Amino acid sequence: MKVRTRLVVSFSYVLLVVIVALTVPLGIVLRDRARSELEAVALTNAQTIAALLDGDRLRPGRPRDRLSADIARFADDVGGRVVVLDSGGTVVADSRSEDLGQDFVTPGRPEVGQALRSVASAGVRGSRDEGGDIVVAAAPVIDRGELVGAVRLSRDVAQVQRNVTRATIAIVVVACAGLAAGLVLAFVLARSLARPLTRLAAAARRLGRGDLATRAGPVEGGDEVVELATSFDDMADRLERTVRAQREFVANASHQLRTPLTGMRLRLGSATAGGPEEPVASELRAMELEVDRLAGIVDRLLVMAREVEEGRETHVDVGEAAGRAAERWRERAATAGANLSATGDPGVALADPDDLDQVLDVVIDNAIAYAPGPIEIVARDEGSRLLVAVQDRGEGIAGDDLPRVTERFYRGRSASPGGSGLGLAIAKELAERWGGSISVTSPPGSGTCVEVRLRAVGSFADP
């Protein structure tokens, strides 16, 4: 995942958690506050009605002609139902005229029992008759210090709940708008933060491909990013100077060595052609072979000094490369008593064909020199990597020598005299130049297998 995407996702998670942490408690508080206010208003209305009633009319045997009219007026004022009970809990007036003469002291109406014990109360509960939640309040009616009855008020809370729901939806909408605005802000900030890091990553990739002139240059960002870019450029400067000095030294040394080597080769050829005595001729031929080996070392040094052009990414079919290598070395192998075979499926890798040919030449040359016999070249597709393996059936490599066979100038104890110790080192550098690798395995009694793995085309696309 890219840096910018990670920053946006992280910021979004934090923002979402903050919004949820604020919105949910706010909705709960809003609901509880609305219910508390509703209960308080209902209780106040019930107490007010109880205070305004003529309590003397609730005494047994007293006329109650105007009581129903008063209760209907009170019900209209509070927008609910008002019921008046005598001291025994019997309904003596009902604004809906539904329960006159009924006993209202029931377990489902605890507020009535409390009111008849001179305790005013209110609450919100469900009602089967109303088909939903209602707010109820009951207050005692006191006349000249004596409890003569109670007033019960009930009101549907659906409208209040609808108001709470609308307010909650409004809060959610505002929260979503805030989340959207936060995402836009996060994207803008992440882009500004990720831009210099993306630039540094691109510069690092170009430097890794061999473009030693690559620099991050001045970047905008925090102090840490600026310091990182400066350190990267300093490192690239030192690396370029070091590599250039090394290449110049190797190139100059190789160039200077080629002239005397050519002269020595010509003189030895002339001396050998002059028909000297056999002991002298034998020594001259041996010297000529050593000069040829030294010339090979110089040629390999020139390969190591070759610079990689910027953006020099080409494709090579590993199956075709294996076949070409087998054709090139078949005659030489037959002369040395080896038998070359190439098998495998085609597959396009990210590498220069000449570089892969050079790698296979080094590995096959070693196999013919140290393990004449059956030599197999196999090309295989491993998904994101393409494998070219060279397997011989020789004595193998000693275990303590195996980890170092790709080091420059390292030659194992069993190596024949005259080698340079540069072959596998050059092959490794050529493979790694294209993001590949070389591994050497040598199980006891199974010969040596050198595996070259290269990136398949399209498996490591630049972001």
Domain of residue 440, CATH code: 3.30.565.10
- 274 lies in the same domain as 402: no
Report how far residue 64's alpha carbon sits from residue 56's, in angstroms, rounded to the nearest whole number: 10
Can you tell me whether residue 271 is helix, strand or coil?
A: helix
What Cα–Cα distance (Å) separates residue 211 from each residue in 215, 227, 245, 455? 10, 22, 15, 19
Can you name the residues that pair with 437 across neighbouring β-strands?
453
In a domain, 209, yes or no: no
Within this chain, do residues 69 and 139 fall inside the same structural domain, yes or no?
yes
Q: Which amino acid is at 357?
A: D
Whether 38 and 142 map to the same domain: the answer is yes
CB 366 within 8 A of CB 392: no
Same domain, 299 and 369: no
**Distance of alpha carbon 115 from the chain centroid:** 65
8 and 156, same domain (yes or no): yes
Confirm whether 181 is domain-assigned.
Answer: no
**Domain identity same for 252 and 341:** no
Give the CATH number for residue 109: 3.30.450.20
Domain final residue, candidates 276, 305, 334: 305
Domains in the chain, number? 3
Q: Among 332, 316, 302, which residue's Cα sits nearest to residue 426? A: 302
Angle at 343 between CA 340 and CA 344, to 5 degrees: 150
Whether 142 is in a domain gets the answer yes
Beta partners for residue 14, in sequence order: none
Give the CA count within 13 Å in the CB-facing half-sphere of 423: 20
The pLDDT of residue 451 is 93
**Chosen domain end from 116, 142, 162:** 162
Residue 379 lies in a domain: yes
Q: From CA 299, how far away is CA 444, in angstroms rounded? A: 34
Which CA distances in Å does 31 have to 26, 74, 80, 126?
9, 27, 21, 16
Residue 460 lies in a domain: no
Q: Record the tokens describing residue 15, joined without a space.
A: 């923002």
Quick one: 393 and 250 in the same domain? Answer: no
In a domain, 100, yes or no: yes
Q: Specify whether 252 is located in the same domain as 352.
A: no
Contacts of 463 (CB under 8 A, 6+ apart): 2, 198, 201
Q: Regarding beta strands 437-441 and 449-455, do their DSSP bridges make them parallel or antiparallel, or are they unpaired?
A: antiparallel
* Terminal CA-CA length for the chain: 10
Written in H, E and C, the secondary structure of 161-219 is HHHHHHHHHHHHHHHHHHHHHHHHHHHHHHHHHHHHHHHHHHHHHHHHCCCCCCCCCCC
- Helix or strand run (H / E) with residue 126: strand 121-127
- Backbone φ and ψ of 348, nearest 5°: -95, 125
- Over residues 275-332, the pLDDT tens digits come to 666 666 666 666 766 666 666 666 666 655 554 444 445 788 998 999 998 888 888 8
d(CA 164, CA 157): 10
> Phi and psi dihedrals of 272, rounded to 5?
-70, -35
Give the CATH number for residue 238: 1.10.287.130
Whole-number pLDDT of residue 215: 79
Asked whether residue 190 is domain-assigned, the answer is: no
pLDDT of 309 reads 41
CB contact at 8 A, 460 and 435:
yes
Asked whether residue 285 falls in the same domain as residue 389, the answer is: no
The last residue of one of the domains, among 243, 274, 305, is 305
Mean pLDDT of the chain, nearest integer: 76
Token duo for residue 294: 């030294």
Q: Read off the pTM.
A: 0.39
Residue 282 shares a structural domain with residue 377: no
Q: Identify whether residues 365 and 320 lie together within a single domain.
A: yes
CB 83, CB 91: distance < 8 Å: yes
Q: Is 204 part of any domain?
A: no
- C-alpha span between 353 and 316 (Å, rounded): 5
279 lies in the same domain as 361: no
Q: Which residues 6+ apart lie within 8 Å of 208 measured at CB? A: none
Q: List per-block mean pLDDT (blocks of 10 residues) for the chain, which spans 463 residues.
A: 58 68 69 78 86 77 72 84 87 83 85 88 76 83 86 78 68 72 68 70 75 73 72 80 70 62 67 63 67 66 52 75 89 86 87 87 87 89 89 81 74 55 81 88 86 79 36
What is the extent of the structural domain holding 361?
A: 315-455
